[in-house]
Structures are given as structure tokens and as C-alpha cells.
Amino acid sequence: MDKINITNQMNSKSQSNPQATLSNSKFFNLSAVEVIEKIKKREFTCREICEYYLNRMKELWDKNAILEIFDDALQQADNIDLMIANYYKNANPKTALSSLPKLCGLPIVIKDNILYKGKTCSCGSQFMKNYKAQYNATVIDKLLKEGVVILARANMDEFAMGGSCENSAFGACKNAFDDSRVSGGSSGGSAVAVACDMCAVALGSDTGGSIRQPSAFNGLVGIKPTYGRVSRYGLVAYVSSFDQISPIAKNVEDSALILSVIAGKDINDETSLSNNEITTSNIKNLISNKDEKNFIDNENSINIIKQAVKLSKKAVNLNGLKIGILKETQKLMQKTEYNDQYNRISQWLQNQGATLKEFSVPYFDLALPTYYTLASAEASSNLGRFDGVKYTTRSEKASNIPTASLDDVYLYSRSEGFGKEVQRRIMLGNFVLSSGYYDAYYMKALKIRRDLKNQFNEIFENCDVIIFPTAYGEAFKIGEKTTNPVEMYVEDMFTTMANILGIPAISIPCGLGKNNLPLGLQILAKANNEPVLYYLSNYMTKNYEQSKNSLATTLLNLNKTNQEKIQKEDSLC
Amino acid sequence: MLSSKYDVVIGLEIHAELNTKTKVFCSCKNTFGEEPNTNCCPVCVGLPGALPVLNKKAVENTIKAGLSVGCSINNLAVFERKNYFYPDLSKAYQISQLVRPICIGGNIKLDNGKTIRINRIHLEEDAGKLIHKTKTIGTLVDYNRGGIPLIELVTEPDFSNADEAVEFLDKLRRTYIYSGVANCKMEEGGMRCDVNISVKPHDSKELGIRTEMKNLNSFKMVKRAIEYESKRQIEELEKGNKIIQQTRKWDDNKGKSFALRSKENSHDYRYFPDPDLLTVEITQEDVEKIRSTLPELAQDRIKKYVEIYNLPLYDAKILTNEKFVSDYFEECLNLYNNPKQISNWIMTELLKVLKDKPNCENLNEIITKENLVSILELLDSKQITRPNSKILFENICFTSKNAKDVAKELGMLSSLSDEEIKDFVKQVINTNPDAILDFEKNPNKVIMFYTGKVMALTKGKANPITTQSFIKEILPNYLKK
Amino acid sequence: MDITIKDVEHLAELSQLEFTSEETQNLVKDLNNILDMVNQLQQAKTSDEPVFNKSHKISQLREDEPRPSLEQEEILKNAPKQRRGCFNVPLVVE
């Protein structure tokens, strides 16, 4: 296991005191918005909060959420503090606040498949364990420009293939609230880092649910934006047609803030979208105040995402909101123990003034086979470049045998480098693309995808959002679904649809299950309709008791177990 | 003859590197001959996370290439991935076009009246370069060439011999250069040709099994390879053997082709639309806009030179071989309307000099069009002699000097006054009085005789035309006597 | 349709992966399980209209203007083996 020893990276100036990380700490469980504001106002320094987060990582190292703390993390923090000091020296304190970068000093964690120049990016794979990024991903450039500090890289399923983080070559990441359960995946490390307060927000990537499902399993807010909203340049590709980078956050406002910074057209990604394409018609219908309506019309398109959150804070009901529910997902949930909980959400939404409408998508079940066909096909091609020639480890077997041929380099390096699940998907992908099967599988899946898009477009003519669960239930046990790959695939039943359609979907906490672990509700909207997702998500997390409580309760639980653990350790000494 | 029993069926796949400033899917420069791996970015090397972004100019040039050989342009162009492992292919796939290429159809007419049909022209990326060293050193990989825009033209199997294939290639090369889409520098691999050949008995309707020879990069190689391979196939059939469908390598030194080892699976390329690239919409308006930028092509110029300027076909072809030569010819023609004389000088003098200057792409660098025209004027007006004109040419090549000044400096120009010339005329008549007697019978001969004498006496300094006019003026006085 | 050992061997060759006979057996089982799920696709009725990626116009394509390349040293930074400014692989025999 390749874990980086972090003890010597902790700064000597501040003694790492576990007590400091408890709930009475002034740093505990702050949102990103709060962290930025407090740093800007110099209530604490960037270095102080970074040290707090690094301590949390160290304390909870066994969660296996973090693969590496970057050795210059505190150096980055000092640079930010210096910058702030200069701003205050040279500017009027009042203007200094607004002229400081938008995310000034915000410490973040990134998923291990996003390139940060000079830093290791391993994609959770043995094959890439020594790979040092040769350039910055576009999202990294954008975030650094707005003043973030990148603390660490987070664990993930190898090459983002998996829904539990058990496929990481560096060991499974454990659920934030229960060590025996999965974190979810593939962005499991990012989610657990946020839930365990190792950072206020983290970047993940979502290809078939890889942000939303771990967000649901750890009581967080995770959005998969419209395909193209965020540049994929510098994200190690798994499925080019579906991949999106996005934040995992503690609350809706933080999510909107980070997305508004990283979204936008990128000259290095043809498939990226201009922010001008973001539509606001759906939330305009919900707002009765004329001034606010005008305000939206005149607002810069990307700020609409943040404004949607602000406007929903003032909202007292959901009058005018049309919510779609699907017969097929209702049926899937009937078999589960969580059915009632989700039905109560629908009831509550109606009580708030929303109209509920039922629709049917007869081919809903086909999302999963469509996803696995297209995903494995693209993955088999995207992963061809990992071959032991330009980067990635070359097999020692091939290097040591003087007679080794080029084919030996390919074969041995790839066979030793890739884990089992990755190899399975490459094989499946080559099957669905190979001559004789292309039309029956790959082409068929493309056509079903197109038909599903058309069906959903029709449904969105008659509703603003569609809701259904993020997953079947709470986080499952580690090892529970590793014997048969299909059992694991079926876990993606509710999440792959948004990726296939390219539409935005957000997962928000919506209560605790029978094991006192978080459940997630998914809200989907038409492409480019992120504002309405943020509006409803924020309304729910402010007003729906279950959504409101789940985070706080679980975090308190977490804290309690930590306190108990520390007390136990103390008594042992 | 054996071959008379068989038909040879040939199809060509011709790759040409497009003339753009940047590569097809990234903004690295489209250059040749740099230090290895110095003209590369994350996209060229296929680094993780890198994405292709299509070059507008490459698409426009492909459309232009298509229009110049009569292709139709697809309204939607799709890019696909062709998947296979080879170290010159950094991503383990080449971005190419299969189902919806940019150009379809089209044709080129050969001089014998035969039409060669074009199946398609598509846009794709070039691969990197492999440098094969020894067994201990291994193979070196340089990705500078990776991502250079390539167009691949595929013909129908319409050729029946090597000469037709070479003529087609020659015509296509001129067309690309004239339309400005490609430079086609064959020695730099800027134009390469794959040849598919099969033979079948004369009376058979079915096509034979074909073999493919890849990367032939000179016309001579194409000719030799086709001739060898068709002969080989006929001989195999005569021996009662079957032709095996295979890729063969042409070894130009040995003058032979031999089979390449190939794996069973190597042909399953698993093409699928590249999800990183959007489909390109090409409107009729786009096509017309590009069509309006098409210049006069080589074929048109050859026709004009033969029909309007009365040049021999052979000369017209040589002049149009390189666009810059033909451009120079037309520039000179604008200054001095004597196509034959200009053509002769370009063909005999300038092209001889050009041979030693392979990098020269503008004949004005050898001699400015103004100077060449000056020489021709001096010559045509007999102010200088032919041998002197060549000496004058050699003296002003690659200089900034003015032709007339140099002619004067070298004492080539007639520098005698009219009175002096008249004196010389009288002098030669007086010393050669017998010649006058023939004047009635053959006046021209006599005039030429005395002119020659004056020229000899003045060592060519007298202007022959002036001299002749004075002879005509003065001679009658002597006749009366 | 069932995936056989022979299919797995063929796919392994396309994938540049090698498996022990035990691994091959397991893959046959796993891939067939997955195919059982994927084969649901065949039930769906779809139209024969061709499917295209999202499109854009020629005017939206990248302008042909060069941008700086990376340094050779940076390009080769992660190369497992390099020589004379090039990536180095065993001799390729054509």
C-alpha cells in the first residue's frame, strides 16, 4: 500500500492537538462560504485552518480517504496569508474584502484523477502510482486563480470504475460514519474527506453516479452538472461522453459557489458549454417578486446558480413548481425498506405547494445496460494509452528480459498495471465494439440513448424537475457486493440515467435509514437547468426536517465516536 | 506475353499533409525536422486528460482539396477513433473518419481520356515517427509528426497499369499545390501512397485477391512497385498458386516486395465516433465560400498554355509542374508578351539553376521577372547577341543588379553613334565592293552580308537593326554609281 | 449469445492483456453475467435513424494559430525509458 507518511509534513509551529479538532474548535464543520469569509476577515489565517484540516486527515487516516497530502500544502496557505496581508496593507479594508479572490484561502481536496501539475495523479491505480501530472487541469487553473489551497488527493475506485471505492489499488475508503461500510464511489475519498471535515469541499468526478452516490452515502450535497458545464481537460478520461468534474459539499450554497467558479467554455475541450446556455425560465416562474425577476434577467449567467440559492432562502413555499415522479423508480423502491421515507418526501413537497405529476419511462431499466455498453466501449479506447511507453510503470518483467518485445511491454505492463475490474471493463468494451457485435451492442445502446433523451425531453415539457432516490438505500457493507460484478453494477440503477441524458442531477441528504446512515434524494432537471436544481435543493435542505437534520446528526455522531475513541486512548496511556 | 492474359486492377490511397500553421487537433506548429519531441503538447503525446480540438483551417483545406477534384461535401462530418496498439500512435487510436468523411465522390481525367473515380477524401491525424536502431538500443519514438493534419484520398480500383497510377498522382499533386491545400513534398513524406493491386484473368468478371503496399513516397517507387507486384501476382497464378491477401513492404533498394508479418486481429480496428469531438456541420454556404477561393488549377493552365499561347504540351506540363514556376511564367508574360521566348528561357536556363537550389520556391530569387524580361527585350531587339545574353544572365543571377546596366558595363550594348555606324557601313562596302553586284538578285543576302561585316568590325557593338537600316539607306547610292 | 474461452482469448489480444487459464475461466463467467444484463438492450425497439454526436459549425472550430508546445524534458518526464530525446521501446520488427 502506497501511503504517504504525513507526520513530518505537519508544521512544527502548531502542535497537532487532537482536542483542537473537536466540535468546540472554531474550525469545526464550517462551510466553504464561512471559511472564505473568516479568512478574508482575518478571523483566522489560512494556515491555521489548513493545519486543522491536515490534523483531521491524520487523525482519520484509517478512513483511507486521503492518498497523499501535498507537501506544499502549508506553503500554499502561507502564500495566501501573505497575499491577504498585502491586500490589507495596500487597500482600504472594506474594499480589500471584495477585491480578494472569490475562494480566497479555501482549502480543498481533489479526486486522484484530476491533474495538478507536478503532483502525483494515480487514478487509484498501481499502474499510475508514480505518474506526475505534466500540466494543470482547467478546473485546477480556475480554482487556483480564485485562491484555493489544494491540500491533498482523495482515494477513488481505480480509473473511476466502481461504486464503492473498493476497487482502489490502495485499499477501500471507509464510510464517514461506519468503518464497516463503503464510502460509495467512485469519488469515495472526496466524499469522506468532506463528511469527516478534512476539508469544506472536495472535487469529485461523476460518470455514472460517482459524485452523487458517495454524497448520498455520506450525507452530503453532490451535483453532476449538465454534460459540458465543466471542462474535462486534465481529468483522466473514463467515459468521455459522461465524465463531469464537480464539487462535493456540505451544503447547497457551497456546491453552487464552487460550480460557478469551475463552469464555463474551455478552448481545450470542444464538448464544454458556454455559461450563457444556463437557463433560468424554471426559477423565474417560481418567483413572484417583480424586482427579483428583473434581477435574474440582468444577472450574469453563471451567477444565476448562486442567485438561485439566495432566492430560495427567501421562498416560503414551492407554489408553481411542477415535480415529476416516475412509475418505474417507484416500482423499484417498493421492494426496499426505504419506500415510506421517500413517499413522505413527495407528500411534504406537495404540502409545500409543489404539484406532483407521475410519468412513465418504459425503458428506464435500460439505462443500466446502455450505460455499461457505452461506458466500457469508451473506456477500452480511453485506456489504450496506458501502455508502459510514455508514462505509467513499465513491467519489470518486460524491462528485465533482454529479448522482451514491444508486445511484451504492452502485455505485461497492462496486465500487471490494471486491476481486475478495469481489465473486465476493457474486455467488455472491446467486445461491444468488435466487428460483428458493434451494431447489436454499441450502436443499439447509442440509439436507446437517443430515444431516452427524446422521452425525457417530452417529460420536461410538463415538469420542472424529476425526483427519485440516489441509491436503493444506505451504504452497504464492505465486501458485500464484490463477488459478482453485476451486483455492484445494479447499484448504479438510479444514477446512470442523468449521465446518459447529459442532464444535471443533484443528490441531497433526505434523512437517515434504518442503520442511522444517510439517504440521498436525487433531483434531475433538463440540460442547462442547474438553477432550478439549486433552488429546490436549497429549499429542501433549509426546510425539510429530514434533509436538515441528517447532516448535523451524523456529524455529531461522528464527533461523539471520535471523542469516545480519544478518551479510550487516553485511558489506555 | 503472359500479362496479356490478365487484367491488372489497381486502387490508390494517397495521403497528403495539409498546409496549416497548427496540427489538426492541437495548437502545436505544423513543422518538419525539429528536434525530437520538441513540438509536442499533452494532446500530441496522448497524456492523460488531454483532449483534441479540431483545427478550422484543416477542415477548410480538406473541403478545398475535395472541390478541386470534383468531390461532393458531406453536410455532417464525423470523426472516429481507429483503435490499435503501435508505439507511433500515442493514444492507441488514430482519429480518422470512416462513416461520414468530409468529401465523397469526385474524379480526375487522365490524358488518354479515362476517368479515375475518387471514392472519398477524409481528414485524419498523422502518427509519430519511429526510428529503428539496433536490437540493444531498440526503437526510438518521436511524436513531433503526431497530429500533423493528413488528408487521405481513396480511389476506386480504376487503374490498369503503373503509368496511369503515376499520371493520376502527378495530376493530384499539382492540384493540391495549386489549390494551396498541401505542399506535397514527397522527400519529407508530405505525400505518400498506398497501392492495392490484384490481377484477374482477362475473361473473369470477379476481382482477384488483392495485396497492399504501404507508404510509397516517390512516383518512381510507385511505378516500380506496381510493375513488380503485378508481375509477381501473375507469375503466382501461372504457377497455379493462390494470391494471399496481405500487406507487403516495398523494398526500393532490392526492387522487391515482401510480406509483412501480421497478427490475426490487427484488422479489427473497432472504429467508433470519437466522443471528444463534435460533429461538424458544413453548410452549402461554407462550401460556396471555399469554392470561391479556388485558384486556377494546373489542368486549366496547361490547357491555356497550349491553346492560347501555342506552347507544346510538353512545355506546358513542365512549366506547370511547380506552381511557383508557372506563376513566374505568368508574371513575366504580363510584362512581355512573348510566351515562347519566356517559356524557353525558364525551361533551359532557370530550371537548370533551380535544380541546385532545392529550397527555392520563387524564381524571382534567381532573377527578377523585370530583369529576365529586359534580357529578352535586348535579345529580341538584337541589341545583344544570343551568346552574350547567356553571359548576361549568368552575371545577374542572384544579384540585385539591373540587366541593362550590366549589359552596358560588359560592353555588350551597341555604344556607337549613328554617324560612327554609317562610317563603318561605308567602310565595309568600300572594302567589299563585289558583293553589291548580287543586290538586285538577292537584296536580303547582301544586307545580311554587310551587317555581318559591320558586326565583326565593331566586335558586336553596333546595333544590328540600326546597322541594317543604314545599309538600306546607303547602298542605293553605290548602286547608282 | 455466450462468450466462450476463445472469445476471451480474442478480446485479450485486442485489449493487450494476458490472463492465466484460471483468470480466463473467471472472465468467461463474469462477462457472461454482465452480458445477461447488457442483453436487455435487444428488447428495445429503436428507429434506424443514424445517431450523431452534438454538432457545431465550421465557424466555431479552433482558429489555426499556434500556441507554445511543452519542453522536451517535460514531455519525457514520466517516460519509463528514454534515449536521445525519444521514448524508447524494444526494437520494433516490421
Of A270, A216, A210, A201, residue with least CA distance to A238: A210
pLDDT at C64: 98
Rounded to an integer, the average pLDDT of A298-323 is: 89
Decide if B92 and A384 are in contact by the 8 Å CB cutoff: yes
pLDDT at A402: 80
CA distances from residue A352 to A99, A288, A510, B59, B408 in whole angstroms, order as listed = 39, 16, 16, 54, 104
Of A319, A348, A275, residue with least CA distance to A535: A319
- Check whether A206 has a pLDDT greater than 80: yes
Q: Are B125 and B188 found together in one domain?
A: yes
Number of domains in chain B: 3
3-state secondary structure A318-355: CCCCEEEEEHHHHHHHHCCCCHHHHHHHHHHHHHCCCE
Which residue do the cell numbers 518512381 mark? B220
Which residue do the cell numbers 489548513 mark? A50
Chain C residues with CB under 8 Å of A426 CB are 15, 17
3-state secondary structure B364-378: HHCCCHHHHHHHHHH
Rounded to an integer, the average pLDDT of B342-361 is: 90
Cα B305 from chain centroid (whole Å): 16
- Check whether A97 has a pLDDT greater than 80: no
Give the integer Cα–Cα distance in Å for A293 and A280: 10
Q: Does domain A13-323+470-487+497-572 have CATH number 3.90.1300.10?
A: yes
Closest Cβ–Cβ partner in B45, B54, B93 for A270: B54
Handedness of CA C68, C70, C73, C76 (dihedral sign): negative
Q: Show the cell assigned to B18.
A: 495539409
Catalytic site residues of A? 111, 186, 210
Contacting chains of B (3 CB pairs or more, <8 Å) are A, C
pLDDT at B203: 87
| Range in A283-297, A315-329, A479-493, B98-112 with the lowest mean pLDDT | A283-297
- With a pLDDT cut of 90, the percent of chain A lying above it is 80
Nearest-Cα distance to chain C for A544, in Å, is 37
Q: Are B303 and B346 found together in one domain?
A: yes
Vertex A122, ends B142 and C25: CA angle to 5°?
95
Closest Cβ–Cβ partner in B42, B87, B91 for A406: B87
Give the integer Cα–Cα distance in Å for B19 and B173: 13
Decide if A390 and B46 are in contact by the 8 Å CB cutoff: yes
Rounded to an integer, the average pLDDT of A129-152 is: 98
pLDDT at A567: 57
Decide if C47 and A131 are in contact by the 8 Å CB cutoff: no
- Check whether A19 has a pLDDT greater than 60: no
pLDDT at A4: 40
Give the integer Cα–Cα distance in Å for A389 and A412: 12
The 3-state DSSP class for residue A306 equals: helix
Rounded to an integer, the average pLDDT of A110-119 is: 98
Helical spans, DSSP H, in A100-237: 138-145, 188-195, 212-217
Q: Are B304 and B247 found together in one domain?
A: no
Does the beta carbon of B291 lie under 8 angstroms from any beta carbon of chain C? no
Which residue do the cell numbers 519514438 mark? B141
pLDDT at A174: 97
Nearest-Cα distance to chain C for A547, in Å, is 34
Does the beta carbon of B480 lie under 8 angstroms from any beta carbon of chain C? no
Give the integer Cα–Cα distance in Å for A557 and A561: 6
Q: What CATH number is associated with residue B469? A: 1.10.10.410
Q: Are B93 and B147 found together in one domain?
A: yes
Does the beta carbon of B90 lie under 8 angstroms from any beta carbon of chain A? yes
- Cβ within 8 Å of residue B294, ≥6 positions away: B64, B67, B68, B179
Bond prior to A186 in cis (omega within 30° of 0): yes
In this prediction the pTM is 0.88
Chain B residues with CB under 8 Å of A406 CB are 87, 139
Decide if C61 and B280 are in contact by the 8 Å CB cutoff: yes
**Which H or E element spans position B174?**
helix B162-179
Q: Are B279 and B302 found together in one domain?
A: no
Does the beta carbon of B140 lie under 8 angstroms from any beta carbon of chain C? yes
Residue A132: DSSP 8-state: B
- Check whether A516 has a pLDDT greater than 60: yes
- With a pLDDT cut of 70, the percent of chain B lying above it is 97
Decide if C34 and A404 are in contact by the 8 Å CB cutoff: no
pLDDT category at C36 given cuts 50, 70, 90 is very high
Q: Are B112 and B225 found together in one domain?
A: yes
Give the integer Cα–Cα distance in Å for A212 and A521: 9
CA distances from residue A259 to A80, A235, A244, A253, A541 in whole angstroms, order as listed = 21, 16, 11, 10, 18
- Check whether A18 has a pLDDT greater than 70: no
Query: Which one of B409, B431, B448 terminates a domain?
Result: B409
- Written as one string, the DSSP assignment of A43-107 is SS-HHHHHHHHHHHHHHTGGG--EEEE-TTHHHHHHHHHHHHHHHHHHS-HHHHHHHS-TTTT-E
Give the integer Cα–Cα distance in Å for B410 and A563: 107
Decide if A415 and C17 are in contact by the 8 Å CB cutoff: yes
Let me know: does B40 contact B144? Beta carbons within 8 Å. yes
Closest Cβ–Cβ partner in A363, A389, A393 for C44: A363
The 3-state DSSP class for residue C67 equals: coil
Decide if A415 and C27 are in contact by the 8 Å CB cutoff: no
Residues 420-479 of A with CB under 8 A from C: 423-424, 426-428, 430-432, 434, 440-441, 443-451
- With a pLDDT cut of 70, the percent of chain A lying above it is 91
Burial of B70 (0-12, 13-18, 19+ CB in 10 A): middle
b/e per residue B419-441 (b: at least 16 CB within 10 A)? eebbebbeebbeeeeebbeebee
Q: For the beta carbon of residue B460, count every other beta carbon within 10 angstroms.
A: 18
pLDDT category at A558 given cuts 50, 70, 90 is low
Chain A residues with CB under 8 Å of C51 CB are 443, 446-447, 449-450
- Cβ within 8 Å of residue B269, ≥6 positions away: B82, B83, B84
Closest Cβ–Cβ partner in C10, C51, C87 for A389: C87
Closest Cβ–Cβ partner in C15, C74, C91 for A134: C74
Give the integer Cα–Cα distance in Å for A358 and A342: 15
Of A383, A446, A387, A1, residue with least CA distance to A160: A383
Nearest-Cα distance to chain C for A334, in Å, is 21
Of A227, A208, A159, A218, residue with least CA distance to A188: A218
Nearest-Cα distance to chain A for B88, in Å, is 10
Decide if A234 and B49 are in contact by the 8 Å CB cutoff: yes
Bridge partners (DSSP) of residue A506 are A223, A523
pLDDT at B405: 87
pLDDT at B205: 87
pLDDT category at A90 given cuts 50, 70, 90 is confident
Decide if B60 and C58 are in contact by the 8 Å CB cutoff: yes
The 3-state DSSP class for residue A376 equals: helix
Q: Are B231 and B371 found together in one domain?
A: no
Give the integer Cα–Cα distance in Å for A313 and A542: 8
- Check whether A14 has a pLDDT greater than 60: no
Of A540, A517, A542, A518, residue with least CA distance to A467: A540
- Check whether C82 has a pLDDT greater than 90: yes
Contacting chains of C (3 CB pairs or more, <8 Å) are A, B
CA distances from residue B407 to B348, B457, C62 in whole angstroms, order as listed = 21, 19, 54
Nearest-Cα distance to chain A for C73, in Å, is 10
pLDDT at A3: 40
Give the integer Cα–Cα distance in Å for A224 and A209: 8
Give the integer Cα–Cα distance in Å for A394 and A414: 8
* Mean pLDDT taken over chain A: 91
Vertex B465, ends B462 and B467: CA angle to 5°?
50
Contacts A–B by Cβ distance under 8 A = 92
Chain A residues with CB under 8 Å of C19 CB are 415
Let me know: does B340 contact B302? Beta carbons within 8 Å. no
Decide if A385 and B275 are in contact by the 8 Å CB cutoff: no
- Check whether A554 has a pLDDT greater than 70: no
Closest Cβ–Cβ partner in B51, B90, B277 for A232: B51
Nearest-Cα distance to chain A for B286, in Å, is 20
Domain range for B359 is 296-409
Let me know: does A364 contact A358? Beta carbons within 8 Å. no
Q: Are B81 and B155 found together in one domain?
A: yes
